[in-house]
Structure 1
Amino acid sequence: MPGAVRIGRLLGVDLFVHNSWLIVAVILLLLRENVYSNQLWNALEYVSLFGIVLLHEFGHALACRSVGGRADRILLWPLGGVAFVQPPPRPGAYLWSIAAGPLVNVGLIPVTLGVLIGARALFPDLSKDADGFLFAMAFINILLLVFNMLPIYPLDGGQIVRGLLWLVVGPIRSLGIAATIGLIGALGALVLAALARDVWLVIMALFAASRSWAGLQAARL
């Protein structure tokens, strides 16, 4: 895969990490050096974040395979992860392949919250760093779920909108409608991100807008 390094293979899926991943990791660690008393906690948080992302992407991949589709690659990059899935051209198969990712995050909610609550109950002297890390894992998982469910193509929420529309108007028109909704949402998010002067959100909004535009063009072909 161009611009990425293969780091292994799990359950028949090749795992890749984009070359920019490590660069962004170093930058974020430097920006967050005061969050924990030791940078090792920052590194653990960053790696664990992508562990959650990886589980999410495996949800997509395994669900796609379960309906007879193909899923053999997952890419981790600074904006998250991408499972390269090719479900059968049926709306039900498409919907299941997409919805399975967020469902993994739903399943992780009681796990991460349970670990946080249990650790606080069992270890009254739990260090501030450990408590902050466990809280961050629970919060990040919920945040990823909410963010992914926004109806902005190509986020999972936008693709679920497309799958539901596919049941009614077919695959091509549903792509055009979902991409249009996604483009409007991405442009709105871009304005809000610019007003908030949040560079990270600006980048994500620009990416979503570009992918929505590409989807809209594909629907017109």
Structure 2
Amino acid sequence: MGWSIPIFRVAGIQLRIHITFLLLIAWLAFGYYAQGGSAVAASRVIFVLLLFLCVVLHEFGHAFAAKAFGINTPDITLLPIGGVARLERMPEEPVQELIIAVAGPLVNVVIALGLFVAGGSQALLNPSTVEGGGLIAQLLTINVVLVLFNLLPAFPMDGGRVLRALLATRMSYARATQVAATVGQGFAFVFGFIGLLWNPFLIFIALFVYIGASQEAALAQMKDVSRRFPVSSAMVREFRTLSEDASLQEAVDALLATSQHDFPVVNE
């Protein structure tokens, strides 16, 4: 992904940070510093970094699950709206896609359980801890939110991929993708509307979901169509040739008059 900086490599997977993520951290640090000074800015930036650490672990969950099915993940990129694990290919076996999609949220479940054991149980009992509680309680709550939000059937988010995997057990992969993409685009409109009224950040999520759903639906349809036709149906059967004594003008005319880029030169 362009405008991203490589950080380090884990198990053959390159972790990258998009430049906009660094701008987000700088903007948050400046805003919190203006509100409460360096101590507040440092504590909130640390919280945001820990939050995105949970996001990175979430993406590694997808990557390691994909690896179990022989699918490599060249890189994971950290964006302001979350992380993106770039798999070499998407599995078309419903069970494989289901496992890979669920693996990410399961990582957040494990993190939340670990934080609960470590002393963050108050966050489940007192909503005020999200704003005023300790770091453990806030991280526990945010991981629960990540699980619930990611499992919304808003394709291409995790929940949308779960939906496609389930649909693909009853219909073709292309049709399942189209249905899941339509549902995802519906959620995108909902996110966008809520973003206009409440939190503009949801507008960026809406754009990501809508564009991602449209692209995956188009790709699945193209794959489905390409499988129906043999290579022979796309091959060029008739070639325009040029004689060895043809002029350059004749070659230019042939180039402009046909879709060929190469012309066999024959000795007539």
Q: CA distance change for structure 1 residues 118 and 139 in 2, over 3 Å: closer, same or farther?
A: closer
Aligned-partner SS, 1:154: coil
Q: Report Cα offsets for 1:177-199 as digits up to 9, x if no partner.
A: 10000001111221122122x21
- Identify which of 61, 67, 70 aligns with 1:68: 70
Residue 58 (structure 1) aligned with residue 98 (structure 2): no
Q: For residue 38 of structure 1, report the CA deviation from its aligned partner.
A: 3.0
- Identify which of 42, 47, 50 aligns with 1:48: 50
Q: For residue 113 of structure 1, report the CA deviation from its aligned partner.
A: 1.9
Q: Distance in 1 between matches of 2:102 and 2:185?
A: 21
What does residue 211 of structure 2 align with? Answer: 210
Aligned-partner SS, 2:156: coil
Q: Percent identity?
A: 30
Which one has the largest radius of gyration? 2
Contact 1:65 1:87 (8 Å CA) reproduced: no
| AA in 2 matched with 1:154 | P
Q: For residue 118 of structure 1, report the CA deviation from its aligned partner.
A: 8.2
- Identify which of 172, 190, 194 aligns with 1:192: 194
Q: Distance in 1 between matches of 2:188 and 2:120?
A: 36
Q: For residue 32 of structure 1, report the CA deviation from its aligned partner.
A: 3.7
Q: For residue 215 of structure 1, report the CA deviation from its aligned partner.
A: 2.6
Q: Distance in 1 between matches of 2:70 and 2:143?
A: 29
Q: Distance in 2 between matches of 1:66 and 1:218?
A: 24
What does residue 6 of structure 2 align with? Answer: 6
Q: Where do 5+ consecutive residues of structure 1 fail to align?
A: 120-128
Higher helix proportion, which one?
1
Contact 2:191 2:205 (8 Å CA) reproduced: no
Q: CA distance change for structure 1 residues 84 and 187 in 2, over 3 Å: closer, same or farther?
A: same
Where does 1:61-210 land on structure 2 (aligned, <5 Å)? Answer: 61-85=63-87, 86-117=89-120, 131-196=133-198, 198-210=199-211
Q: TM-score, normalised by structure 1?
A: 0.87
Q: TM-score, normalised by structure 2?
A: 0.73
Identify which range, 40-49 or 27-36, moves more after superposition. 27-36
